[in-house]
């Protein structure tokens, strides 16, 4: 939500000025400038995520979609990547890379 506001401020800053737009949108100027300063970091993180996603897709297709987050994370660690499991999970969730539901096993006849 805030990102769209910052994009709006950035797009119209030359015409109306940052201070006026921030006042109308009820956001802080310091927040806008902090967002502006972090643009390079966000781009670098996005590029790293895209590179990691390529490897995740390769592992996912190599194992015919049977590997989930934990196994893919273990494979990446085995290849020497230092990556958090939650990051792998986020990338897989965003790109809808899921493992199929396991088949039901035999049911016990005795309670």
Q: What is the pLDDT of residues 7-33, one digit of tens each?
A: 999 999 999 999 999 999 999 999 999
Same domain? 53 vs 90 = yes
Same domain? 27 vs 47 = no
According to the model, what pLDDT value does residue 37 have? Answer: 95
For the chain, which ranges sit under pLDDT 70? 1, 111
According to the model, what pLDDT value does residue 104 have? Answer: 83
Q: Percentage helix, strand, coil, to 5, in the chain? A: 70, 0, 30
pTM for the full predicted model? 0.72
Same domain? 28 vs 60 = no
Residue with tokens 């996603």: 53
According to the model, what pLDDT value does residue 110 have? Answer: 72
Count of structural domains, the chain: 2
């Amino acid at each position: 939500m805030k990102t769209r506001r910052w994009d709006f401020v950035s797009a119209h800053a030359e015409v109306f000025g940052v201070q006026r737009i921030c006042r109308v949108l009820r956001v802080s100027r310091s927040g806008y400038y902090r967002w502006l300063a972090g643009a390079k970091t966000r781009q670098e993180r996005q590029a790293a995520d895209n590179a990691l996603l390529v490897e995740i897709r390769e592992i996912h297709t190599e194992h015919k979609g049977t590997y989930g987050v934990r196994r893919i994370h273990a494979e990446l660690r085995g290849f020497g990547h230092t990556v958090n499991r939650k990051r792998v999970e986020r990338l897989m969730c965003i790109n809808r890379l899921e493992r199929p539901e396991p088949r039901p096993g035999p049911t016990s006849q005795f309670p």
